Structure 1
Amino acid sequence: VAGAGAGIAAIFKSPLGGAFFGIETLYRRDMEVEALIPAIISAISAYVVSCSFFGLGHIYEMHFNIDSIFKPLPLFFFLVLGILCVPLSFLFAKTSAYAKHFFYGIKSVPNFLKPALGGLLFGVIFLLFIMLLTVICDYERACIDFTSGILGGGYGFLQLAFRGELTIVVLMCVMIAKIIATSLTLGSGGSGGSFVPSLTIGAALGGLLGEALQTFHDAEPGVFALVGAAAFFAAAANAPLTSLFVVCEISGSYELFVPALLAIVPAYMLSGDITIYPEQTETRRESPAHRREFFVDLLEGIRVKDACTKDIITIPEKMSVADALLFAEEQGHIVYPVVNERGRMVGIVSITDLERAREDCRMNSTVGEICIRDVVVAYPDEFLEDALQRMENFGVGRLPVVRRQKPSESSSAPEGIVRGEAELLGIITRADIIREHCRRRSLICRVP
């Protein structure tokens, strides 16, 4: 998170934009708040290092007349720009997803050749647009401007767009071609990202609207391009604060705060589930990194007495091993509490213990002679979480449930282990715990 923000801060000389980029882009409707301070420190450090090598100043040069912007009609069109970014970001996200699905479905082409296939298709698209530009406008200038927006990230195109030096035809071609080119590149497995292409697409849309508005009103196409880039990224990546600070820090002042806000707010609010980052979750609750923080452990609130089985199948301690084997085969259980003539538990025996006694030729021995006397137990007033933890610690799948002994009756055995007689109340198994957990969870889910 901090590293991603530092990269944006260093490249675009936007420390606040970089800091919020790291904590916003993980979720569609949430932020990684705990990472804000580390992200700010990292972004500022990267910004200082970048300035020490490349000097102070802004990455893009911009000149605009603020008086022509703060008028009712231009401000209204900034709002329109934000709304227009929503369907375009939806188109970008869907095209990227379709391209990825398309290349994944081509089983006849090895994976290492798919980027080459994507590059071939990209080249065809590029040539088609070049041919189109040669027909409808000046060849040399239009092709250079178009190429600056399609090949590479689009940094040169952004500079031209922010200066307002691009024609309507070039802006429209770049807006469409960049969506296709980025989708083909990333979908085929080529290297690259979505941040700068998103800015390029948004700048093309904003510049297009600014140029159209300039035909009948005094407008600033460069400002529309900058705000369009930010609003489009806010809609496509669900990162409004990042977009807002990027506008202010690239322009070098907060004079564009209001126009940017007018475009970014509707773009973000109307974007819904649109995202160019497939792994972006809705909130921290859905994130694998934070899932346990929001998980209500139902086992902490359920007592053993509420989930244990009361109908207990026991084996008398005076029963022979031979009879016990037949009895266990009929019942089908693995472990049985061993009780004396008064019905009090004195031990526990398993099928393994009985089979071992048969192998040792002790078929006539009593169960009381071979059973385990130190029994791991659960108490009725314990929580299921404690019982489950005890099962895990001792490597068993079920625990007899016994009444707690009085201090005068207690032996020197540790907590959770009974030596001697104990009043048997039931038995708790892992299946009982899972069943009760599912039942309680279903009740919670039914609550409106």
Structure 2
Amino acid sequence: MGSLRRATRSLHDHRIVALAAVVGALTGLVVALFERIVRGGLIDRLLEAPLALQVVAPLVGFGIAGLVLTHLARGAGPSLADDYLRAYHDRETRLRLRDLPAKLLAGAATLAGGAAMGFEAAAILSGATIGSTVQRRTSRWFTREESRVLLVAGAAAGVGAIFKAPATGALFAMEVPFRADLARRTLLPTLFASAAGYLTFVAVDGPSPLFPIGSVHDLRWVDLAAAVALGLLAGGGARAFAWAVRAAKARTAGIPLGVRVLVAGASVGALVAGSDALTGEPLALGPGYDAIRWAFEPGHAAGVILGLLLLRGLATIGAVAAGGAGGLFIPLVIEGALLGRLVAELVGAGDSTLLPVLGVAAFLGAGYHVPLAAVVFVAEATGRPGFVVPGLIAAASAQLTMGPRSVTTYQRDRRMGHLEGRLDLPVATAVRTDAVTAPPTASVADVISTHLLGARLLSVPVVEGADYLGVASLHDLTGLDPDRWADTPVSEVMDVEVPAVPLRASVGEALALLEEADADRLPVIDERGFVGVVSTSEILRLDEVLEATEAGRQRAMQDRQKAV
């Protein structure tokens, strides 16, 4: 029997891994085509266009994206990557394949217009949507605990593909749903999906590192001290950046689309012109790969670096305010690289490539609260695994000054599925208000046949109106002479000593009463009378309740922000 169970489990695991690999390959193909069309066919041409066209392009892109989201995407929001987090935390949120083309079109318009945002939002959305769709159509192969496996795997494949960094994709998709935790039961499928997405993407685009850099010197103790200092500084910068992103979303939510696009688009255009005047290149335009290249070049004056850091940051905030459908991963990377270059110039290490790299790890890790993914990204994107140790130090230090928030409002602090997370919850989260009850006048025979055996219960509360009177258990009732069952009201046999749980009690207090009474179920009452029943099985299923509660809180938070 044990060998049969192991064989069945092995078949189950292999099936999930195979599905994850299929999701990864499909995601890699979609992301490669999107990147080839938008970057190779549109953005590269915009970067070679006259400055006057580059200044106007963001306004046009934001306008098209807004119209697409409003009319073709059925009012979908512009935060494409946040759709993954919403779907992860809220079972009522579904990523539908039929909505994906319109959302990708909005993303293409945003990016092709030169918004200072990244491709990763479209990549994450593509993978998460493909994974979610495949999982819904093969749901019979998954347990409830595995209900998000392909959603996470698809998101990982999207990140792994667009950045040519499969380990980063896997870690980011597992880290980003929580600020201080990891998505569970997803590691192996996520790794396979991310690897498949990466392999498919590089088959189309080539395997070169995203940010190839030159030689680096051997690691010194002073470099580790610099990693700590730069990490603390980057954490503060990422905190300000996250605040600005949240404020831009909240304060523009109620502004009409036309006004928002006109003002923000014109502002971003002015920032593009400003970056061209400052550096000789329109480095505030587009996703910013040229800005990263510029940040790794030595010899720039500190004032110019600081100016570009501010201009790029403001351009991204402007894109968010306009409702641009792009990602914030690459903007965080660019801000970190520029901050590292600025510090290098200020301390007389202008030829250092280490500090810009550490800035990337720290700023990105802090902005999304994904320190592990940020460090691995630095190693994969640069092709330099030697950056891992100082990158870890910088990313960890940045968490100290970042604070509890991030650039997305859909992150949660941690998983609440652990027992210690349940104990402090109000018992109302585990109460069954539709519980079966028996009236005191019902006969013992009726209660046994209808209320207990008929409902497959071992005990039932006895309730008259709103008043809780006691508990009738199968053990007590069957102790009565069967000849008396038909004529004896249950009120004469019920146990009036069974305690009731106050509705104001916590789950921990309810568990203590259940243990004290040696019962699996207890009635719950408030000042008005009987409310329902709490049971150990309902408490053990609180993960679902917690998900629904948190999802509702997140939706309410978003509604309040839109109303500001």
TM-score, structure 2 length as denominator?
0.53
Cα offset, 1:82, TM superposition: 0.6
Aligned equivalent of 1:91: 240
Would the alpha carbon gap of residues 258 and 121 (structure 1) be closer, same or farther in structure 2, given more than 3 Å must change? same
Aligned equivalent of 1:362: none
Give me the whole-angstrom Cα distance separating, in 2, the residues matched to 1:151 and 1:98. Answer: 22
Aligned residue among 261, 273, 295 for 1:115: 261
Aligned residue among 326, 344, 349 for 1:192: 326
CA contact (8 A) 2:238 2:367 kept: yes
Give me the whole-angstrom Cα distance separating, in 2, the residues matched to 1:336 and 1:117. Answer: 67
Give me the whole-angstrom Cα distance separating, in 2, the residues matched to 1:300 and 1:87. Answer: 38
CA contact (8 A) 2:428 2:503 kept: yes
Aligned equivalent of 1:178: 312
> 1:20-419 residue pairs with structure 2 within 5 A?
20-67=171-218, 70-106=219-255, 109=256, 111=257, 113-128=259-274, 133=278, 142-144=279-281, 147-148=282-283, 150-164=284-298, 166-214=300-348, 218=349, 220-285=351-416, 295=422, 337-338=440-441, 376=451, 387=460, 401-402=471-472, 403-406=476-479, 409=482, 419=486
Q: Gapped runs of 5+ residues in structure 1?
A: 134-141, 303-307, 310-334, 349-372, 412-417
Would the alpha carbon gap of residues 420 and 127 (structure 1) be closer, same or farther in structure 2, given more than 3 Å must change? farther
Aligned residue among 471, 476, 488 for 1:421: 488
CA contact (8 A) 2:176 2:411 kept: yes
Give me the whole-angstrom Cα distance separating, in 2, the residues matched to 1:119 and 1:271. Answer: 29
Would the alpha carbon gap of residues 425 and 100 (structure 1) be closer, same or farther in structure 2, given more than 3 Å must change? farther
User: Partner letter of residue 122 of structure 1?
Assistant: V
Give me the whole-angstrom Cα distance separating, in 1, the residues matched to 2:445 and 2:185. Answer: 54
Cα offset, 1:46, TM superposition: 1.4
CA contact (8 A) 1:20 1:242 kept: yes
Cα offset, 1:13, TM superposition: 1.6
TM-superposition CA deviations, 1:383-442 (whole Å, max 9, x none)? 8xx748x99xxxx9989844412375179xxxxxx75434415999xxx97x63433548
Would the alpha carbon gap of residues 191 and 210 (structure 1) be closer, same or farther in structure 2, given more than 3 Å must change? same
Aligned equivalent of 2:47: none
Would the alpha carbon gap of residues 226 and 190 (structure 1) be closer, same or farther in structure 2, given more than 3 Å must change? same
User: Partner letter of residue 259 of structure 1?
Assistant: P
Give me the whole-angstrom Cα distance separating, in 2, the residues matched to 1:210 and 1:300. Answer: 53
Give me the whole-angstrom Cα distance separating, in 2, the residues matched to 1:123 and 1:11. Answer: 26
Aligned equivalent of 2:102: none
SS in 2 for 1:93: helix
CA contact (8 A) 2:156 2:172 kept: yes
Would the alpha carbon gap of residues 400 and 410 (structure 1) be closer, same or farther in structure 2, given more than 3 Å must change? farther
Deviates more, 1:291-300 or 1:274-283: 291-300
Cα offset, 1:375, TM superposition: 5.9
Give me the whole-angstrom Cα distance separating, in 2, the residues matched to 1:183 and 1:410. Answer: 80
Give me the whole-angstrom Cα distance separating, in 1, the residues matched to 2:358 and 2:293. Answer: 13
Deviates more, 1:116-125 or 1:186-195: 116-125
Cα offset, 1:300, TM superposition: 13
Give me the whole-angstrom Cα distance separating, in 2, the residues matched to 1:113 and 1:291. Answer: 47
TM-superposition CA deviations, 1:175-199 (whole Å, max 9, x none)? 1122222122123322111101110
Give me the whole-angstrom Cα distance separating, in 1, the residues matched to 2:172 and 2:446. Answer: 62
SS in 2 for 1:404: helix
Would the alpha carbon gap of residues 397 and 236 (structure 1) be closer, same or farther in structure 2, given more than 3 Å must change? farther
CA contact (8 A) 2:460 2:471 kept: no
Aligned equivalent of 1:317: none
SS in 2 for 1:439: coil
Would the alpha carbon gap of residues 374 and 58 (structure 1) be closer, same or farther in structure 2, given more than 3 Å must change? closer
Would the alpha carbon gap of residues 165 and 7 (structure 1) be closer, same or farther in structure 2, given more than 3 Å must change? farther
Aligned length: 346
Report the structure number with the largest CA radius of gyration.
Answer: 1
Would the alpha carbon gap of residues 112 and 438 (structure 1) be closer, same or farther in structure 2, given more than 3 Å must change? farther
Give me the whole-angstrom Cα distance separating, in 2, the residues matched to 1:92 and 1:255. Answer: 28
Would the alpha carbon gap of residues 120 and 300 (structure 1) be closer, same or farther in structure 2, given more than 3 Å must change? closer
Would the alpha carbon gap of residues 248 and 77 (structure 1) be closer, same or farther in structure 2, given more than 3 Å must change? same
Identity among equivalent positions (%) equals 23
Would the alpha carbon gap of residues 105 and 9 (structure 1) be closer, same or farther in structure 2, given more than 3 Å must change? same
Q: Gapped runs of 5+ residues in structure 2?
A: 1-151, 512-564
Would the alpha carbon gap of residues 444 and 17 (structure 1) be closer, same or farther in structure 2, given more than 3 Å must change? same
Would the alpha carbon gap of residues 20 and 397 (structure 1) be closer, same or farther in structure 2, given more than 3 Å must change? farther
